[in-house]
Structure formats: C-alpha cells, structure tokens
Structure 1
Amino acid sequence: MRNQTLKFLYLFFLAITLSLFHSANSKSLLRLKRGASISVEGNNFITSPDDSFTCGFYAMPGSKAYWFAIWFTNSKDKTVVWTANRDRPVNSQGSRISIQGADGTMVLTDVDGSIIWQTNTRKSDVSAAELLNTGNLVLKNQRGDILWQSFEVPTDTILPSQILTKDKRLTSSLRKGSFESGYFNLYFGSDNVLWLINDSPETSSLYWPNPDFDIHTNKRTNYNSSRIAFLDDMGMFRSSDKLQANASDKGFGIKRRLTIDHDGNLRICSLIISTGLWMITWQAISQPCKVHGVCGTNGICVYAPTPKCICTPGYEMNDPSDWIAGCKPTFKEALLSSPAFAYKTWGSGHCYVKSDLFNGYMSPDFPGSVYIKLPRRVQVSKPSIFHGSSTMCESREAEILVGSPSMYDITRRTARWGYIYSFCGALGAIELLFIVLCWWFLFMKHSVPASVEDGCRMISNQFRRFNYAELKKATNNFREELGSGGSGVVYKGVLADDRVVAVKRLGDVFQGQDEFWAEMTTVGKINHINLVRMWGFCSEGRHRLLVYEYVDNMSLDKHLFYLNFLGWKQRFAVALGTAKGLAYLHHECLEWIIHCDVKPENILLDIEFQPKIADFGLAKLSRRDSPGSEISRIRGTKGYMAPEWALNHPITAKVDVYGYGVVVLEMIKGVKLANWVVDDAEDQEIPLKNLCRQVKEKVQCGNSSWVESIVDPRLEGKFNRIQAETLIQIGLSCVEEDRSKRPTMASFEWYFVKFLKHRALLNGLPRSKLSRIRQMWKA
C-alpha cells in the first residue's frame, strides 16, 4: 500500500512538473508585430484580450499535419472556427507564420519555404496582427485601422458580429474530423435568397429552403438585393431575404457559432461554459436525410432510428470508411439509358427518368414507387431496414430518389420512350386495380390478405407507427411498470432493434383513429434536447399506445422530495432546461403546443440529470394563429393548475407558466406544496399564498437572510444566492393569479437578466460585472 501511495505521488508531481514545463515553454501573444513570426515548434499563440479565442498552429489528434487556425479557447475539443490553409496542411517541423517586413503581408510557409497561404494585401503601413474578442484575426496599422481581417474570408463558420454577404460563402468540411473543403455550401444565390446547396463533382443540388416550394411559400423574399446575413449576440440569425432563426437559449452572454457541418446541416451551437461542450440550439433541417447527397452517389439515407446510410440494392460502398464516396455497382455490365425511374401518383401517373442515383432518402410520405434497373443475373434482396409497421392500406413506398428528371442517353430515343410509355400505362392499370381491391377489402369488411397488406404498409422511419403485437412483445406482455398517471400506465420495453423504450398505454383520452393519427404524427416531428423524444405510436382497434425514449433517472419528484435529493447546481439546470423546453413548445415548433400538466412527475432526468419534459403530446394541438383555445378534455393536476381552469376561462400557454412557477418554487423549497403549513387542507392555493406572503413580509422588513430561510435546508447553505433569489422572483411572477401579469416562457431569460441588472445596480455593482453574472446564470 505504501509503495502504491509513493508511486501515485511520484506520478502526480511528474504530471505537475510536465504541465509547468509546457506552460513555461508556451507563450501567449496579444499581437504579432511586423517582421516577427511564429513557428510550428515554438508553441506560441495569439490570444484575444478576453482569452475567448486562440490563434496559432493546430493539429488534429494523432496527426503530424498542421493548420494555421482560430479556435475557441475554452471549448473542450478546441473547436476551430477558421483555417487559413484548410486544404493544404503544413509540416510539423519548419513551418511558420510571419508578417513580412517588406510589404506587411502575412505569409504561411512550409518546411521547404514554399508559400502555402498569404493575405491578399500589400500594405506598407501594416503594424501588427491581433486577435479581437470577436474571434476576428486582423492586420492593423499604427492608427488602429483594419487593413485585412479573417471575417472577410470565412470557412465553415460565422461568429456573432461577422457578416455573410453576397460575395462570401460557407463551405463544410469533407468529413468529420477533417478541415478539407467539402461539398455543402451556404451562400446567396442570384435570386437574393440564402440557399444551402450540395455542389459535388457529380451534380449541383439546392436543398434548403425546400426546393419543392416557391420563395414566398418558404417565407423568403427575393426583392432585397443587399444580400446580407448575420448572427447577433442574442442568438438570432437573420438575413436580407427575411429569414429569421432564434437559438433556443436566446440571450446575451453566451458564446455561439453558426456552422455548416460536414453532414450539410446548418446549425447554431452554444458553448456550455461548465463543461466546454456544445449544445445545438437551432438547425435549419430537422430531418437530416433531407440534405441532398449526404450518402453520396447511389446511397440512400434512412432512419434506423437515427440517420444512417445504406447502398441502393445491387450496389456496395466505394470506401467502407467514407459515405461521401457513395456506392458502386456490384456488376460490371454497363446500363444503357436510365438506371431507374420514379412513378408518382398525384391524381394521375407521372414517370420521372433517372440517369444518376443521387439524393436518395427514405420517406413514408412519397406517393409513388421507384424502380431500379439491374442486370437480370444480379440477385438482390430488399434491405432489412425496409420493413412495414402499419396495418393501413396505403399506396406508399420508400422514396429512393428525389429531384427533377435527369437527362438520359438519346440514342434509340423513340424506342425507349415507347417502352416507357407502355410501362407507365401498364403501371397505371395495375394501380387502378390495386385501388379497387383495397376499396373492396375495406368497405366489404373483409380482412386484407398479407400480400396486399405488405404492399400497402407505410415504411418505418424515425417516427413510426407500431402494431400492437410488436409492442406487446417488446414489453413482455406489459410486465415491467414504470409508473402511472391520469392518462395511462407506462411500461418498460425493448424493441427488436434493441432500443430501450417507455410504452405508455393510454386510457380513453383519445377516441377516434383519425384524430389520434393527426395529433401524434404532428408531435412525432418535434425534437428538442429538453423534450422526451417520441419514437412512435400504436392505434389499433381499441388500443392507443405511445412509444417514448427511455430516460434513465426517472422523474424529478423522485429526486427532489426524498432522501436522495438534488444539489443546487442540478436544480438550477433543471429549472433552466425545463424553461427552454416549454419555450420551444409555446413559441418555436411548427405547432403551438400547451402542455397543460407541468409538474415534477412529468419532468424526467437523463443520465446526466438534464431535464426532459414528458407527456406534452397529450395536450391539445392548435396553430399559433388560432383565436383561442378550446381545451376541455385534458386537465392538470391539483396544486399545479392555474386559476383559469376553475374559472372556465380560455386556456392559453400561461397555464404552463403557472405550473412551471409551482415546480420552480418546489425545487427551491425542496418539498411538495401539500407538505407546507396550511390552515385549511381543502384550499389548494393556501400553501402558495403562504409562501408569497412570507417572501413579501421578509423583503419589506429588510430581512437580509430571507433567501436562506426559503431555500431547502438540506442544501446546508450550498447554493448560489443570486441564482436562488432570481428563481424565487421568477417562480412568484409565474404563479400570479392574473395571467396577464405572468411572463411568457420566451421572456424567461429576458426577465432574469432584467432582474439581475436591477439587483446589481441596487447593490452598487458596476455594469461591467453584468456579463459575468449572465455567465453565472448560464453555467
């Protein structure tokens, strides 16, 4: 034991010595002067004054290649936001960056002295290079004028205060873990609209905004020729074509970036200061398979349940480690004319000839079929990923190819067109016969044969429809119960693909199949880090079941009101995450959703104790522009219900604000409202009124320790007083009887910052400290 202790101490002091040695040999510069240089071996860097950004030589783990780059200093993986030589890395020895004394040009040279990159300026009055707090690397003269800046030559990222104009574009990396330029681009087209485009060697294809709709349907405009886009300090991304996107954590004091990732999606990411990790707070495309060419040529993007790539039947991967390379045929025969065509049915049949198999993805909403030409000798089977899950008779097959008709070989054109017309006519006759058969079996109350049912079933995707038998098998005949509530009982289950799920067996909440289908398919499109993900549902006969992701640490009440209670940091994170989830439901998702039953039992905690709101799919769905709500079937839980329920007033999102306020106050107090001192157990509002009265009395009396008297004593004083005081004020504002006085969930952060500013000024804190306080709120 003694030897082990000595060995540990030796290793500990050795690590400290090496760390000190490394620190002693590394040097941070605020500016690189003219005539000076930084070598790749020198371990010197340029840092921004606030140490948010670092500029210097950067190497991928395990690589001897280096890039001159800018990265976030405090991110865990040193996230790079700009590279000078993304496609031409330099050697790990002998390479250097310098500002030439002759003409003031910043030059990157390799080990042999060859110029790899240089600024496009030759200014005799260049004084030095500096890295600003915004992450912008600039060349300045003695007067402080900017003569060149990295913001003018972006790579795949723009930062707050950086402007994307008509002559600039963001280009993704080729693959994860690479700086090499990829094929996905964000730029303004000649029509003044900001587009995402796949510009690969084989083809060029627009995919965002939705190319199937016109500009105005996509809520854009092409009338403004200024062509400017930017991400501001609040987390709002705006462009001159009327695009506006908001980060889910909108507010000041957060480090953010807008990046076009290697998968072709455009995302706003926010840095979590406490962990150094990134959180996606907005993304342009909610369904990753809608990105054109994400699986390369002859590849198909599917949900299983997360996005993955497979090859078209009869094809195999070109490079087993890289889907960008796509798939190649397993046969050697050359296919004359088109290799495939799509047959769509929009009231009448339409054939689209395909010469290239590109932009493939699976969709259950595609009203048609795709046929692929293969040599007769090639025997292929349908990939196992294509399996039906619906008992409804619908003429839908997976969409393998999307886009406009491709050009094809014009030799023997007449014969081929005659063949295609004949084939399409035959297909139309078969489809008409198929519709008649479906009508016969449905309306004459005969059971549908298995062969017909297999041809009609909806292909499963990330959100799918299950049948009752497979959920019964997954839950082992509903054996392991996780919990129950007014809407039904929840069971633990394991699906055929080994996903652990929670299956909720509903009572009589929903009656009609059409209503259930419409509401659940809408909810299935919703995805937020603070909402429990719904994988699918079952509506079969009298059975109504919902399939959710399984959340490891059960509900908030299990960790709040018992001996194994949450610490303050975890409670604070739950309060913030729950607010973000509700704000998304109320203001950001496609459908305006009121939860109607916000309580600790409906807030689940994942393995890292981050909150996920459950059961939001049981609330009434209505559009934002609806004049009012007509919710009457679903009621809240006693103690968390807003007064307007009892008064029969129209129900708005403010009922969720009320429930959230009660939850926040319970987290602060550490006990159920029903456990507080009450005068009349029949009056459900007395505990809440008691707390409001206690707080007001203590504040009016100038009691300096009023916060400590309210906060859960089990914390033994281990909490942040500013955060606690703020949460108490927010909680009390949320439980106002007059709903017009309650804040909205979207204004939650604004309310907090306003309150902090007021308290800071009262306590004599300078305004310069407010940014630090905001960071404390976000930590």
Structure 2
Amino acid sequence: MFPKPSSLLLIPSTMKNPIHLATPPLPCSIIVYFLILPSLFTHTNSKIQNHLERGSSLYVEDDSAFLISPDTSFTCGFHEIGKNAYGFGIWFTHSKNRTVVWMANRDRPVNGKGSKISLLGDGAMVLTDVDRSIAWETNTSNTDVVSAELLNSGNLVLKNPQGKILWQSFDLPTDTLLPSQTLTKGKKLLSGLRNGSFASGYFNLYFGSDNVLRLIYDGPEISSSYWPNPDLDVYTAGRTNYNSSRFAFLDDMGRFYSSDRLQFNASDMGFGVKRRLKLDYDGNMRIYSLNNLTGEWSISWVAVTQQCNVHGLCGRNGVCVYAPEATCSCPPGYEVIDPRDWNQGCKPKFNRSCSDSQEVKFVELLNTDFYGFDLNFTRPISFNACRDICLMDCHCEAFNYRITGEGFCFAKSALFNGFHTTNFPGRIYLKLPGNVKVPEQIFFNRSNSICSAEAEVEVGSTSLYDTKEKRARWVYLYSFATAIGVVEILFFAIGWLFFRSHGLPDTVEAGYRMISSQFRRFSYGELKKATKKFTEELGRGSSGVVYKGVLTDERAVAVKRLGDAFQGEGEFWAEVSTIGKINHMNLVRMWGFCSEGRRRLLVYEYVENSSLDKHLFAENFLQWKERFKVAIGTAKALAYLHHECLEWVIHCDVKPENILLDTDFEPKVADFGLAKLAQRGSPGPALTRVRGTKGYMAPEWALNLPITAKVDVYSYGVVILEMVRGIRLSNWVVEDDKEEEAELTRFVRAVKTKNQNEEESSWLEEVVDPRLGGQFSKSQAATLVRVGLSCIEEDRNKRLTMDSVVQLLVECEDA
C-alpha cells in the first residue's frame, strides 16, 4: 500500500536529500506504482507540503522531515543544536546557516535517534525523546485539531476542520519577534544563554506592571532593568505608563509600534525585505534584515547604542570596557570563573573577612563604576570621609567618588553591572585585603568581544577566547599603602574616643557606633540578657512580638521574636543575611539575628518615636509638615525595596504600625523582608499565603491573583489617605443598620463626588483632617489625594509604581 499523499513531507529541490517513498508490499502493485510515479513527482515540484495531518509524525532521522511555508520562506523541523542533540524549531529557509526564529524545546533537546514530533489523534502535538518521554507538547488535547500548518509569516498553527486556529507558535515566542507577531501581556522574549546556544539566558523583553516595554537582566542573583534608561523617568524616556493595553509589533515595512508610545524604524524601512527583531544573548535587542542574494543578515536598528549599558552583561564583579568593542574583564584582585560564560562573572582571589586584624587597601580604577547596589549615598562629603564609610562597613566592597566637585559618595554592597568609559566622571575604589598583590600596571583579563551578536561560531570553539588580540590596559594608582591604611584606622579610632570623651550628642555617637558595627549573629543568651528576659514590650503583630533591649556596647535595640512560621535554619540564615545588606535611610536598620533551635529573633535599631499610628490617630497628632515628610520618606523606602535593592522585596504589610518615626520624625519602614522569610519552607510558589492587615490589603489577595509589588502600592495609598484625613480609613462601619462598609470606600466616594461638583480649593478643606485647622499646603494635600486614589485602584495595572509616586511627591515638596 502506498503512503497517503497527505503524509508525504515534501521539500524544495534545493534541499540536499530526495524524497523517499515506501516500497509497495504487494508484487501486484508494482505496475501501478511505476504508472503513477511520474505524476507524483510532477505534483512534488508544483506544490510544497506545508502541513502535517492528524495521526502523522516527523522523525528526527529523516532528513526530509520538514514542513515548508507555501512561499518557502520558512522551514519547520528538527534542527541540530549540539552533538546528537536536536530541537524542534522554525528557521528562515534561505538564510545562511539556518537562522532559527522559534524553538519548542530550547531547554530540553532530544536525541538524534528515535525522537519524533507527532500530531496525535486527540489533537495534541507532542515531541517525544528516544525513551518516549515527552519533551514538549501543546495544550490542545481533546480538541478537534486536524492539521499542523506552517504559514508564510513563520507561524506554526494547529487548525480545526473549519480552519480556525486553536494554537500557534506566535503565542509562545522564544528570542525572536517576526513581522505581524504581537508581543502582549504575559508574553516575553528570552535571550539565548550565550553565542551559538539555544538554551534560555537571562535577558528578557516584556511589559512591566507599569505597562512599559522593558529590557531586564534577570540573573540567578539579581534582577535589574536597563532599557529604557533607568536614570530617566518614563516620560523623559519617551514612554507612557498610562495606557489600557499592552501590545507591541513589528510590521512588514520595518516599523515598530508599542502601546507605551515607543516607536522606531529599521534603517532600510520599506516592503520586500525579510526582517526579524531579536533579543540577543548579549542583552541587546536588534532588528536584522536579510540579504536575499547572500543569505546574510545586517543590523538595521539597535536598542542600546552603548553595549556596556546592558546590566548583568559581565556577571558579578565583571567590568565591561570598550576595547574598542564592548569586552568583559575582571578588575584587580579578581579572576574570571569561566571564560566561555561571562554570566558567571569573576571571583575574588582572596577571602573577604570582617576581622579587625585584616589589613585593607583600596585600588583606584579611573572612569569606572558599578551601577546600583548602593549601601548609602552621601553628599557633600570629602574623599577621606567617603573612604572611611566603606572602610568601617563590613558589607562595603568598594566605593565610588565623583570627581565633579560635588562630593558624591556611593558605598557599594555588591559589584554588578561594572563599566569603564572615559566619559564617566568618577572613580571606583576596590576594597581589597592588604596582602593581595596588584602590579602598578595590569592588562585586562579580556574575553571575546560581545557586540558581534550574529557572528557564526562553532559551539565550544576556542576562537572566541583568543588572548592574542590587542588588550586594553587598566591604568590606576594605589590610593593607600597598607601602612597608611593601618595608620588611618588607628587615627579614626583615636578620634572616636576623643569625641566620645568630650560628650558628643547621642545621635552622632550612635552614628559612629552604627558605622563601626557589623551585621552579626547573636546568641539567644545575649538577647535574653539585653532585653532583661523580654520584659519591656514595644509592640506585637502577626509576625511576632517586639521587645526593647540594650546591647553590651550600650546600643538600644528592638528585638523581634518571630512566630513558628519562620523555620529552616539554613534558609533563614541565607535570607536574613541578604536582608541585612539592605540599607536605606528610610528603612529600619537590621543589626543581626538569632537562630537557635526553633528560636528565631531579629535585632533592629531602636527608633525613638514609636510608630506612625501613635502620632496620627492620637490627641498629640502630627502637623502637616511632618505628615508630608512621612509620606515622601515612606515612598522612597518602598521604591528602594521594589526597584533598587539587591533583591526585589515586597513588604506585604505596609500600615502605620510598621512606619516608625525617629527623633526628627523621619520615617523608617519596619518589618520589610518578613514575607520573604516566611515563604521559605512553605509549599507552593512564593507569596501564596495571605499576609497583611485587613483594610490595607490589596484586592488581589482575596482574588487569589499573583502577588506583585502593587500590593504595597495599594497599602501605601490607604496610609497616605489616612494621613490626609487623620482617621482610620481601614476601619469598617455600619450606618443606619445597613450593610457594613469600609471608611475608605465612603471617603473615596465623597472625594470623587466633591471633585466633580466643587472647586478643589473648597472640597480640600472638607476632606483634610479638621484638627489641623486649615494649616496645610493645599497643593501637597491635593497631590496626596490624587496619588492615594491612584494607588488604591482595584485594577493593579492602573496603580502607580513607587518610583513614580516618589517623583510626584518630590515635585511638590517645597510647595
């Protein structure tokens, strides 16, 4: 019996292998076979097969096992991605070396023998390995799918008998966006791991929760957004986060449109050119145009013009330099972990220690910086004072000092996203042990150039790592010799003793103590003694009870005894050590922890003026100036947690009780990171367990939606509206025996009604806390109300981000 015509997989005559037809099993059919053979080949040359019928399969061993689009632009089938390893993908037929645009099993290749892709009888398309295990499958089981087709657009689709598409590869992009393919909410492009690799990497293109199309490095240790420029706000970058949908696409002319108002064009804009938008392994996004004559690609647009602005490009401790192309290097005292994979970065050649006996020196690198991970930012400050801040902080790995005359000082808790460029007006000073030998002039330990994204290189080839190329040099001077460093440490200590003996104010002395202290592990006995057996209770909440204590060095501390939910000593230590590195002036500083058996305690700085609720809802209430200061400081703390700190942290319980006030009524947010600690050891994904306080909890908690930073935005909105009104809007009330209603709902309804019917100046007087007697800034109050209402939108996509809130409040700070 002959094979069914629909199951014959035909390819253009340009393919290297002919079509194989099965030998008829019955001798009587031989005559018939030779009679129809000429007509069969005629049919092959006149029509190319672009579909796979239900019940049919493609086998990896069959070199003719392909689907071809009707216009022959695209081919779909098995593609070799390593030694005896194959992926099922789609590529440009006429490009040089098969340019792949989509791959089903990029992270789980199948064997070169015995693997197959099948359109099963139940409608599912399934990729099976040699051991019959499923490497990939569609979600079309129990449907009436009858065929798989490859369209001229490069889209692989599954259709029912009526021609309706029930599944398409365009909905599951890998690293490439083709013309007419849309990128929407829930979809993303994910780069390859390295040049020539199809495995998933760390760079993403996606729509953020603020509706802005972003490029982000999401590595194993950090996440960092770098496009649009993080130094610019959304509007300055030419985008908008006020749009009701999230979609982006590249059209056939080479024009790109996005719902956040991003638009750009390919340099060869016009019809008739095959193009693709690709997120390359180096984190940059480019439009490529195909030369039909040579099959080569040329770059017709690029997202990041300065490649070293791509975050995470060279891994931890790595530095990106232009030599003249973007190149990864290790700074003095560090060495590359794997020259074939710069995602792993560089490792120190020394053991970092907090021991007072370890000598320390700083090595100066000109025109070099590491983006983010600032322990603190200070200005104006002298160079020596900046150096001393890093010197006395165990977590400081380097500091940056700007040479612009403004005295900018940035102490760094981690070295990611390093770059070296002559345009940068500053220097980084690496903190190294005094015994680390560094020559006065060294060369870059350079890798391959990382800009030529489409270079055709054999996987595993050592040509990528040729060390005979011209090398750039690090030019730097020693800032301090070891002897000078020791002398200065002694000088600092003598000065501290001198100031202490002359009765410095408590705040200054506490500052010196904080700088000289380090995050550490306490014993349970130490904390029991410090708190006088946990006698003076400061407060309690769902996570535990807080007690006041005094350490042996006379520091007043707040000791939080956690509940039973915080288990797993190893995980607890790992998370606490990370949270301990987080440092912001508006966050309560964590000084240490205790983990003994089932006992879990956290040690925080003691904040004198208790919590916001004690000063907002009491008779001795805050005046307007202090309220607005608290609103800005709290917003800055949350923005830091969400966007800047070493690991993105969602607070999950923002409320007045967790906003503490120091002697100057500067706010300090407490209990951040507890949600991260509590999720450890619990089954299921992160933040699945409901946290927070009734009245401040975002609707998504009750709706069982994924929890994002927008839950903090909602809670913050409730808090600032309470600061405006001066009462608990989170309370529930019953009026005239009607159904229970939240004060917040009544307040919002009243404000919206008054805003529609009255002038702003008149209704503000009615909604602002009457205890203030009209003594408040109308522009600031109006801004707080508008921001608060935006923050508590039921649709989280309409809520502001915390960095946007900070910008809006800072703009009217002096009003």
TM bucket by the smaller chain? Answer: 0.3 to 0.5
Q: Radius of gyration: which is bigger?
A: 2
TM-score normalised by the chain length of structure 2: 0.45
TM-score normalised by the chain length of structure 1: 0.47
